[in-house]
Amino acid sequence: MTTAFTIVLATFAAGIGSVWLAAGLMRLGWGPEPRVRGLKEQHLLSLAAGALLATSFMHLLPEALESRAGPKPLFAVLLVGLVFFFLLDKAELWHHGHEHHHDAGEGEHDHHGHDHHSHPPARSGGWAVLTGDSVHCFGDGILIASAFIANRHLGLVAALAVLAHEVPHHIGDLAVLRQTSRNRRAALVKVTLAGAVTPLGGLVGWWLVDQLVGYLPYFLVVASSSFIYVALADLIPQLQRRLGARETLAQIAWLLGGIALVTIVSTFAHAH
């Protein structure tokens, strides 16, 4: 099986598979609606954060550091990448907020009093949501391709991490789009088309990294900076709520579950 074909399969599973999985979970009640929102969504966010952090610190960064590139330039790229994704976030092109609102005129405040406006109001028609989602999915495809070119098992782990954090994100996107249209199928088709940009990004990434293979360690560090930014700037802040001891332990358990999931998949990939 060629690397390009493997990348297409993995990015298809991460991009489109995450949309369909999100839709399935919403049918089972795992959605942002007030009647079911809360602990279930918190569990998904915790799992995704654990998977992203484990992939970055246990796989992508160690792989990059094993190259001939020195740690100083690699960590410089990591810093630049974090700032870059922060700027994209400010431009609403990399935001993975899940605090979607049901009232266009109301924001949601956390216990610190901060106002969360993760996406434009529903009256925008949801196109801003889809634009940002498409850009992010394209970037995810490039990052997965970079990981596959470095090491096939590393690519599988990266694809799993992308899948884990896209599921709660797509749940929020579907909820926003359903505010603008009662046609649930139309909302699913729109988000699926955005997810389909992931394989396109994978092919572009395969071609780009193949042409610039000497810079592969830096691509891996950029992938790490993306995962770290999403986990620390977006997912984990949404978990910083006053919860009881049982709910807090559940958050920690799901976070550790995300780390364990990545570890198990990596071990399995190594064995085969």
The answer on pLDDT for 199 being more than 50 is yes
Confidence of residue 219 (pLDDT cuts 50, 70, 90): very high
pLDDT tens, residue by residue, 54-63: 999 999 999 9
Using an 8 Å Cβ cutoff, are 36 and 29 in contact? yes
Q: Which pLDDT does position 95 carry in this prediction?
A: 54
State the angle between helix axes of 245-271 and 39-55 in degrees (0 to 180), rounded to the nearest 10: 40
Confidence of residue 84 (pLDDT cuts 50, 70, 90): very high
Using an 8 Å Cβ cutoff, are 247 and 235 in contact? no
The answer on pLDDT for 173 being more than 70 is yes
Q: What residues form DSSP beta bridges with 115?
A: 109
The answer on pLDDT for 100 being more than 90 is no
Q: Which pLDDT does position 93 carry in this prediction?
A: 59
Average pLDDT over every residue of 225-250: 86
Handedness of CA 178, 181, 182, 183 (dihedral sign): negative
The number of beta carbons lying within 10 Å of the beta carbon of residue 189 is 12
pLDDT tens, residue by residue, 176-187: 787 776 677 888
The answer on pLDDT for 103 being more than 80 is no
Q: What six digits make up the tokens of 215?
A: 């810079």
Q: What six digits make up the tokens of 218?
A: 């830096």
Average pLDDT value over all residues in the chain: 82
3-state helix, strand, coil in the chain (%, to 5): 75, 0, 20
Between 171 and 122, residue with greater pLDDT? 171
- What does the domain layout of the chain look like in residue ranges? 3-271
